[in-house]
Homo-oligomer: A and B are copies of this chain.
Amino acid sequence: MNERVTAQPADAGPLAVICGGGSLPFAVADAVTKRGRRAVLFAIQGWADPERIAAYPHHWASFGRFGWFCRVARAEGCRDVVFIGSLVRPPIWQLRPDLKTLRLLPRIFRIFRGGDDHLLSGIASIFEEHGFRLMGAHEIAPEILMPEGALGREHPSRRDLADIAKGLALLNATSSFDIGQAAVVADGRVIAIEAAEGTDAMLSRVAQLRRSGQLEQVSRRGVLIKAAKLEQDRRLDLPSIGPQTVEGAKRAGLAGIAATAGSTIVANPDRIGATADHERLFVVGVRETG
């Protein structure tokens, strides 16, 4: 693990939260605000939730306006920056670059050509060269990390535990290939592996395989396993689960969800636990190694 535990003195200035989709950005902003630190949200157009963003100090941002971001974030007094929320890598041709972004384009282009890890570490170093400090949401708000054990009332059966072990072993084996770190295993059989499509799309695929009869239609069978990559830069790319993950797992006919404790983000554990209880699925934090 390459985690860094950083002191967060009150005089570190406001935190710039660059917001993708979903509810995680607001969970981070709330956690920071609770500690008495101001959070300034940079809401990415097309991704951040416009209704929820209204309640926070915010600016609307878009890809390709890095020069603008530097100016506004500095004017707000932000040095620390957190990226958080769902985000699909934008098609590079859709960037509308400002001048600074334009100058960085050859480099951005090379970064985009690589895998996810290259994308993220490349972006991190660009921010740091411009005087910002890129931080992980788990450093800023450790309470959003998945704890060990079950979040709700349901627990994995012995069969589920075997599926979880197989899934973790598979994700360990693929970890160095820089792909999405999720899989579905049912009765010892690997049903789906996530790559570029994302976890929700993978769960829809499993639901579709069940509907079409390509998979047995036994319900509450199989587990979604999510794990952080072993070597990834955890400031940018921790896997996350939310209520929609639980609902997707339910539609896929699974018994539950296992996520690596301490390295998966779960915005609102109580709400996830309640959703899991309602759907009668388990959601469990497991250790990364076995």
Within 8 Å CB of A214, what residues of B? 88-89, 196-198
Task: Tell me if A217 counts as interface (CB < 8 A to partner B).
Answer: yes
**What residues of chain A have their CB less than 8 Å away from a CB belonging to chain B?**
88-94, 112-116, 166, 169-170, 173-174, 176-179, 183-184, 187-193, 195-198, 201, 205, 209, 213-217
- CB-CB nearest in chain B for A180: B190
A135 to B: closest C-beta gap in Å: 26
Within 8 Å CB of A189, what residues of B? 114-116, 178, 196
Can you list 23 residue pairs at the A/B interface with Cβ under 8 Å?
Answer: A88-B213, A88-B214, A90-B213, A92-B216, A94-B213, A112-B216, A114-B188, A115-B190, A116-B189, A170-B177, A173-B173, A173-B176, A173-B177, A174-B193, A177-B190, A179-B193, A189-B196, A190-B196, A192-B196, A192-B197, A193-B193, A193-B195, A205-B205
- How many monomers of this chain does the complex have? 2
A191 to B: closest C-beta gap in Å: 5
Given contacts A213-B91, A217-B91, contact A113 B170 (CB under 8 A): no
A232 to B: closest C-beta gap in Å: 14
With contacts A115-B188, A173-B176, A205-B205 known, what are 18 further pairs, Cβ within 8 A?
A93-B217, A113-B187, A113-B188, A114-B188, A115-B189, A166-B177, A173-B173, A178-B189, A183-B195, A184-B195, A189-B196, A190-B196, A191-B196, A192-B197, A197-B205, A197-B214, A198-B214, A201-B205
